[in-house]
Amino acid sequence: MTDMAEPPEDVATTAPATRVGVPRETAPGERRVALVPAVISRLHAMGLAVVVEAGAGEGAQIPDVAYERAGASIGDPWDADVVVKVNPPTEAEVELLGSGSVLIGFLAPLARPSVSEWLRAAGVTAFALESVPRISRAQSMDALSSQANVAGYKAVIAAAEHSTRFFPMLTTAAGTVKPAAALVLGVGVAGLQALATARRLGARTTGFDVRPEVAEQVKSLGARWLDLGVTASGEGGYARSLTAAEQEAQQAALTEAIAKFDVVITTALVPGRPAPKLVTAEAVRSMRPGSVVVDLAGETGGNCEVSVPGSVVVVDGVTIAAPLNLPATMPEHASELYARNVLALLELMLVDGKVAPDFSDEIIAKSCVTRVPESESESESESESESEEKEA
């Protein structure tokens, strides 16, 4: 009788599985989802339980039943140990998070510092995917790059849709049509993908950036390099802000060059600052009617002086498109890539099936935007460390 009353040893000693929650994205126009079934299957195999909000994958054409087949349950994701999102949470969503929980996603720490303040007040440890350092070991976690690839590809498709001309050279019985000339301004991940895609469509491609070290990458894609004599290499793979004199010299040379192109795609960004204006109204007026400008920096003000973020306008016969959140227009593959980035970061944090971030790791430390001390002793230790730093 005594033996029967005692629970089996494995039941008594097995700790509850770490729970990962996947909410439905609520930002206007957002169709991506933070995790896809293939990744959830891997998390399930690692001993993690996943709960997905009903309808979370609808925008990406993923029904709830697909998540259930992968081992997830459908329910409330907000009280999970770890919550993964695509977009920054609203203040109301932060209130749904449990104190001591972990949040992973795009959190806009520079553009929207209030989000970090809400998370800190709620006792949430948060990791911003846009803050993952761009080092070799972190490439699999670099969600900015994975989503920029989608944006660069889709920008060229948008340019082809709005253009009144063919991209490739066509030889027909009625004669030969010359290929379109496409210029990409800013050749980070999105710019390089745009150059590659435009070339696949048959355009003659040219790339420009104020970082001369990327010239070889441009040429490796079969594109020409536009040298305006202005360089501004910055930290972390981004460009620094130009001085007033540098901006004036660049604008004059760029305005003259832009007139020769049928398509201009702009991707230039400076973290935490408004997008630099590269295409002036004068430059737009210098382009032939029927030409197209696709401005990928619309969310931070735009690279084109006459862009209207989120809209398509026509100025002097030139179409200027400034789409917002292009990755959300390709939700299936964008979600798949994003989910792999989240998985890679989670794997780095897991120790014996539990989320235990090692804050001595460069990736963990730099991506963390809010941190809740694990114990009072840790909090006291951090306070002492801060006091020592202030005294120093």
Domain edge (last residue) among 329, 357, 386: 329
Count of beta carbons in the 10 Å neighbourhood of residue 146: 22
pLDDT band at 384 (very low <50, low <70, confident <90, very high): very low
224 - beta bridge partners? 206
Q: What is the C-alpha to C-alpha distance for residues 142 and 342, in angstroms, rounded to an integer?
A: 9
Average pLDDT score, the chain = 90
pLDDT in tens, 83-128: 999 999 999 999 999 999 999 999 999 999 999 999 999 999 999 9
* Rounded average pLDDT over 150-165: 97
Does residue 253 surpass a pLDDT of 50? yes
H runs (alpha helix) in the chain? 2-5, 9-13, 37-45, 64-69, 91-94, 113-121, 143-162, 189-200, 215-220, 244-258, 281-286, 331-349, 362-367, 376-391
Same-domain status, 308 and 342: no
Q: Enumerate the active-site residues.
A: 134, 139, 142, 145, 238
- Domain housing 338: 12-131+331-378
Confidence (pLDDT) at 273: 86
Same-domain status, 292 and 253: yes
Confidence (pLDDT) at 235: 56
Domain edge (last residue) among 289, 314, 329: 329
* Rounded average pLDDT over 199-219: 94
* Kind plus residue range of the DSSP H or E element containing 201: none
Same-domain status, 337 and 204: no
pLDDT in tens, 276-313: 899 999 999 999 999 999 999 999 999 999 999 999 99
Structural domains in the chain (count)? 2
Q: Give the CATH number for residue 223.
A: 3.40.50.720
Answer whether residue 316 is part of any domain: yes
pLDDT in tens, 213-250: 899 999 999 999 998 876 665 555 556 666 777 778 87
pLDDT in tens, 319-339: 999 999 999 999 999 999 999
Same-domain status, 243 and 356: no
Does residue 79 surpass a pLDDT of 60? yes
Same-domain status, 125 and 272: no
Confidence (pLDDT) at 270: 82
* Rounded average pLDDT over 79-86: 97
* Length, in residues, of the chain: 392
Answer whether residue 99 is part of any domain: yes
Same-domain status, 171 and 307: yes
Answer whether residue 142 is part of any domain: no
Answer whether residue 200 is part of any domain: yes
Among the ranges given (44-58, 238-252, 341-355), the one the predictor scored with the smallest mean pLDDT: 238-252
Confidence (pLDDT) at 387: 44
User: What pTM does this model have?
Assistant: 0.87
Same-domain status, 57 and 120: yes
